[in-house]
A and B are shown apart, each in its own frame.
Chain A
Amino acid sequence: MPSTFQRKNIGIHAILIVLSVLMIYPVLWWVGASLKSNQELSLPGLFPVHPMWSNFSKGWNAIPGHTFTDFYINNFELIVGLIFTTVISCSLVAFGFARLQFRLRNFWFSILMLTLMLPGQVTIIPQYSLFHHLGWVNTYLPFIVPHSLAGGAGGSFFVFLLVQFIRGIPRELDESAKMDGCSWFGIYWRIIMPLTKPALLTVIIYCFLWNWDDFFGHLLYINSVDKYTVGLALRMLNDSQSAQQWGQLLAMGLVSVVPSVIIFTLAQKYFVEGIATTGIKG
């Protein structure tokens, strides 16, 4: 019955097109609005008649004494450090859990799974107090140090994801390397790490996305403008303008999501497939 088959697909296409438009519509409006003047913002059109490109240039320089260039540099510096420390620490830990047999392993692993569900609010106050007394407030150390200890935003999840992936790599590879006198570290570094690349890429992507905009963390620990990340700068822009320049604010907001969009486009395959391969199930 080829004809009914075809017709059925047309129905699905119609539903999916409507859905896609519905989902994307606010973003389209956002793009239009970032080019609007305050007057045009109160009109219902999607795109402005007279696009105000100056929203972008003025918004970029709207915070006195700084430009958004500074905030982007800050954000990228922070995030490169976090990705680097996360990849190293989480892969080491995951290798230990996935490949080595030792006492207490299962015990620690179930603790790790429990921490996946622990709400951050329970530890945030003593952590803040600790970092405060170490003089780390208003530095990036409250982010870097937890990430180098396989923690921070997403840490336990990344370990879990990598463990699942490494368990899928055939053990014969390590066995033969061991026969050749390779140490455990050698096996980790020369055999497992190269084979884990797809999962590491997934980790890098999520690490980027979650930390690019870890608003709560940035809000707590970063308080001088010269260390501000993009999210904090946006909040400042939102609070500081008495007569709101919505166009500028929306323009800067739009720019702030561009890095995530680029990462998403480059690594799309890993997004939708990435989680599937890790076998998250119940």
Chain B
Amino acid sequence: MEVTVATSTSKRRMAKLKRWDAFITGHLFISPWLIGFLLLTLYPMVQSLYYSFTDYSLLEEASWVGMRNYEKIFTIDTRFYQSVKVTFLYVLGSVPLRLIAALFIAMLLAKSIRGMSAYRTAIYFPSLIGGSIAVSLLWKNIFGKEGYINQVLDLFGINGTGWINNPNTALGTLVLLVVWQFGSAMVIFLAGLKQIPQDLYEASNVDGAGKIRQFFNITLPMLSPTIYFNIVMGIIGAFQMFTPAMIITQGGPMNSTYVYALYLYERAFSQLQMGYASSLAWIMLIIIAASTSVIFLTSKYWVFYESEKGEK
């Protein structure tokens, strides 16, 4: 419905005005997020980068110390190396186990058989309550020296160790806790599985491919974008694990569960060394960014997108 009386210049001016109008309206709508991003994310990021080169205790002004925090961290801070080691062990242990559990159980749950929603509920349930402090307390009891696991082992005449008091097994119990909560990854796998066209399986049935070949040649490649997403989110989450280590083991025994987020928390909020803790935070960001970049760089070899048209 164009009214073509306007000259070309005023038309251009109108268009410019309209674009300006849209610019303002658009920014008004996204302004809550935009303000939040600028004030509560971007500005704090810049500030924490600055703090990482200072001595800062919240109560006094920050004083510039240059690279000293970083030098200390990399040269004499044994707790830093311990927490990095523990965190990597935790990430390497929990992320693959959790994903494998999530994938296989999602494949079982994707079938349409009677009573499936009851199974789904039961299996999802631990993930619902999983991250809570209450569950950490439960775990602390179950895996204690006198806990349920050892009572059961006792019935078989096995004298179990104090799982959370033994430096060799403590981290394992925390890994087990997060593997038990594979539900959110599983739900995403379920959604991904639903999007695989059934005719691919039917066609390969005709060609006589077995279940295992179908899994490796159809399911895995078709699901690879979902796997990729879950790996990245899993890694980012695992690097930040905090509550279980704080509640169940307090980082012990012998610092065997002293994860990075716990170390950072203690430096920042127990010892009020916020400059030093900011350096730790930036090192953490770089470690996470590097790890996810590695996944990203390898992704072109193993993530398959069926076509670009499906992309939003």
Binding site for B on A (CB under 8 A): 9, 12-13, 15-17, 19-20, 23-24, 26-27, 29-30, 33, 41-44, 89, 92-93, 95-97, 100-105, 108, 111-112, 115, 117-130, 132, 146, 148-151, 155-156, 159, 164, 167, 184, 188, 209, 212-213, 215-216, 220, 231, 234-235, 238, 246, 249-250, 252-254, 256-257, 260-261, 264, 268, 271-272, 275-276, 279-282
Does the CB pair A127–B141 fall under 8 Å? no
Known: A121-B281, A126-B47, A276-B190. A44 touches B125 (CB 8 A): no
Shortest CB distance B303–A (Å): 7
Does the CB pair B26–A122 fall under 8 Å? no
Does the CB pair B137–A118 fall under 8 Å? no
Contact among B19, B37, B117, B137 for A238, CB-based, below 8 A: B137
Residue of A nearest to B134 (CB): A253
Does the CB pair B108–A16 fall under 8 Å? yes
Known: A96-B29, A122-B285. A257 touches B191 (CB 8 A): no
Please report which residues of chain B, range 127-174, place their CB below 8 angstroms from some CB of chain A when the two chains form the complex.
128-129, 131-135, 137-138, 141-142, 146, 148, 151-152, 154-155
- What would 8 more interface pairs be, CB under 8 Å, given A118-B41, A124-B268, A260-B132? A19-B123, A102-B27, A125-B281, A151-B33, A253-B138, A281-B191, A281-B229, A282-B225
Known: A235-B247, A257-B134. A146 touches B36 (CB 8 A): yes
Residues of A within 8 A of B108 (CB): 12, 15-16, 19
Residues of B within 8 A of A146 (CB): 36, 40
User: At the interface, yes or no: B312 with Cβ under 8 Å from chain A?
Assistant: yes
Does the CB pair A89–B239 fall under 8 Å? no
Does the CB pair A92–B303 fall under 8 Å? no
Contact among B36, B48, B125, B239 for A24, CB-based, below 8 A: B125
Does the CB pair A184–B29 fall under 8 Å? yes
Contact with A along B258-290 (1 / 0, CB 8 A): 000100110011000010011011101100100
User: At the interface, yes or no: B5 with Cβ under 8 Å from chain A?
Assistant: no
Contact among A149, A249, A252, A282 for B229, CB-based, below 8 A: A282
Does the CB pair B30–A93 fall under 8 Å? yes
User: At the interface, yes or no: B194 with Cβ under 8 Å from chain A?
Assistant: yes
Does the CB pair B247–A115 fall under 8 Å? no
Known: A23-B123, A96-B30, A119-B240. A127 touches B44 (CB 8 A): yes
Contact among A97, A101, A238 for B247, CB-based, below 8 A: A238
Q: For the complex, what is the distance from the CA of A118 to the CA of B288, rounded to whole Å?
A: 9
Interface of B is mostly: helix
Residues of B within 8 A of A117 (CB): 232-233, 236, 292
Does the CB pair B22–A101 fall under 8 Å? yes
Shortest CB distance A7–B (Å): 13
Known: A12-B108, A117-B236, A272-B120. A254 touches B44 (CB 8 A): no
Known: A27-B126, A103-B19. A272 touches B40 (CB 8 A): no
Does the CB pair A256–B132 fall under 8 Å? yes
User: At the interface, yes or no: B192 with Cβ under 8 Å from chain A?
Assistant: yes
Residues of A within 8 A of B208 (CB): none
Shortest CB distance B146–A (Å): 5
Contact among A105, A213, A235 for B26, CB-based, below 8 A: A105
Q: For the complex, what is the distance from the CA of A41 to the CA of B33, rounded to whole Å?
A: 50
Known: A33-B141, A123-B40, A123-B44. A280 touches B131 (CB 8 A): no
Residue of A nearest to B133 (CB): A231
Does the CB pair A150–B26 fall under 8 Å? no
Which are the 8 A-B pairs with shortest beta-carbon distances?
Answer: A96-B29, A149-B36, A282-B225, A102-B26, A253-B134, A126-B44, A20-B122, A276-B191
Residues of B within 8 A of A112 (CB): 33, 37
Shortest CB distance A43–B (Å): 7
Does the CB pair B40–A127 fall under 8 Å? yes
Residues of A within 8 A of B228 (CB): 282
5 inter-chain pairs at a CB distance below 8 angstroms, sorted by A residue, are A12-B111, A102-B26, A124-B268, A125-B51, A253-B134
Shortest CB distance B174–A (Å): 15
Contact among B119, B122, B188 for A280, CB-based, below 8 A: B188
Q: For the complex, what is the distance from the CA of A170 to the CA of B281, rounded to whole Å?
A: 44
